[in-house]
Amino acid sequence: MKNILLAAMGTSPQVLTETLYAIHMQGKPFPDEVYLITSENAKAKTVEWLFEKGQIEQLKAHHDLPDFKFELSHILLMEDDDGEAVFDGREEEDQKSIADSITRIVTRFTADDNCRIHASIAGGRKTMAFYLGYAMSMFGRDQDILSHVFVSKEFEFTEQFFFPTLNDNHIAKNNQLLNTKDAQVTLAEIPFVRMRNMVDQNLIAQIESDSFSKTVARLNAYKKENIKVEVATKAKNILVNGIEIKIPAKELAFYLWLSQQPGRKIDADRDFCDSSVYSASYLKTYSLIANDSRVFASFNVDGETVEEFSEDDLSRLTSLKPFSKEWIQQARSKINKALQGLLDTDGVNAIRINSQDVSKKVEMPGKKGEEFTIRWSRYFIPEAIVVEHDLEENKKGFISQANRFDSL
């Protein structure tokens, strides 16, 4: 398994040489590759001291360190949404870029199961250390570690000090001489909660491409007792406590339409399957989300007619086909399959479209005392969840576009 050192770095490149020294001296797994996360202005100082002035090579030679790969391309700049490098991270608007960049970098490295990440939070601004530690908590695996490095107080913030030497070597600091042979450098591993092990892997796959703020929102929403489903008709998806699930427009409209039915259920009995009232109502909802001619044609109607007719007039068309049991079952199956792809079992059970066999005995016509059983399927969405959407009723009495979410 490849060992990778991933270190936050500010304008003190000594942090890297101190960390490498401490790893070696304390017998920790030594990195095969080294990567730095830094800003544009800090990169210049890193290049100057570690490459141009050769402090890395001096450390390797002086303490006979194992060979490792560290080159200019391993200096990873934090960037904003437009790909512009963060200059120094001082500005308020830089903080989002710092958080998002570090999150993306950590998720990229932790996606490789064949590597072990040693993340160092010793360098850089305090916000960088926080975000790197937090990203490791969100995405770190069992094999990954987090650390900080400490140096003797008198050697702190000393530009000429990069690592303890085996022989006497005097450097100046504030009008006094320090002997680098006397310096003490200690690496401390930091325990951290690995939330990756607590979250469904389907959710991890989705949040890895998000910004830091969206990632935090998803994790905060995960496993909430009160589940909220937002039907986002423009984006053609549903949001389940912030978790985005893409669903085709035809099925999305059906989920929304079903959630609006009394008791959030339909009984697909003979009366239902013979009546075009329900299909007309569904098509009015669908027409506000999409206009695929194939969907309209499956009900033997065209989109212009659906758009122009009121729901009542549409339902009176003798040519309009009602729902079929097969159509409903296929829509239900596709919706539930999409949910299963991104939610854990509890989440799926909470919001899926359920199917239930229902039966009742009725008296046979003209034969008093004789009964027979009729059976049908009931489809329903649990009433305990909150379902919201981005449509509202207009003056014609059916749903139209709006820019807010209305509870059903």
pLDDT digits (tens, 9 = 90+) for 282-314: 999 999 999 999 999 999 999 999 999 999 999
User: Using H for helix, E for strand and C for coil, what is the string for 182-216?
Assistant: HCCEEEEECCCCCHHHHCCHHHHHHHCCCCHHHHH
pLDDT of residue 255: 95
Q: Looking at the domain assignment, is residue 230 inside a domain?
A: yes
Instruction: Identify the band that residue 399 occupies on the pLDDT scale cut at 50, 70 and 90.
Output: very low
Query: Picking from 78-82, 84-88, 215-219, which range would have the lowest pLDDT averaged per residue?
Result: 215-219
Angle 392-393-399 (CA atoms, 0-180°, nearest 5)?
80
Same domain, 237 and 194: no
Is there a domain that residue 157 lies in? yes
Q: Is 54 domain-assigned?
A: yes
Q: Is residue 213 part of a domain?
A: no
Q: Which residues contact 340 (CB under 8 A, 6 or more apart)?
A: 348
Examine residue 214 and state whether it is found in any structural domain, yes or no. Answer: no
Query: For residue 332, what are its two tokens?
Result: 């239900």
Boundaries of domain holding 304: 225-407
Examine the pLDDT at 218 and tell me if it is beyond 70. Answer: no
CA distance 99 to 10: 15
Is residue 293 a contact partner of residue 305, using CB atoms and an 8 Å limit?
Answer: no
Residue 176 within any structural domain of the chain = yes
Both 147 and 286 in a single domain?
A: no
The closest alpha carbon to 238, from 113, 347, 102, 126, belongs to 347
Judge if 185 and 135 occupy the same domain. yes
Tens digit of pLDDT for each residue in 327-359? 999 999 999 999 887 777 777 888 899 999 988
Query: How many domains does one find in the chain?
Result: 2
> Same domain for 231 and 156?
no
**pLDDT, mean of residues 318-335:** 95
Helix, strand, coil percent content, the chain, rounded in steps of 5: 40, 25, 35
| Strand 399-407 with 386-393, pairing | antiparallel
153-197 pLDDT, tens digit each: 999 989 899 999 999 999 999 888 999 999 999 999 999 989 887
Same domain assignment for residues 252 and 180: no
Which residues 6+ apart lie within 8 Å of 96 measured at CB?
80, 211, 212, 213
Q: Which residues pair with 77 in a beta bridge?
A: 38
Query: Is 186:22 a contact under the CB 8 Å cutoff?
Result: yes
In a domain, 216, yes or no: no
25 and 135 in a single domain? The answer is yes
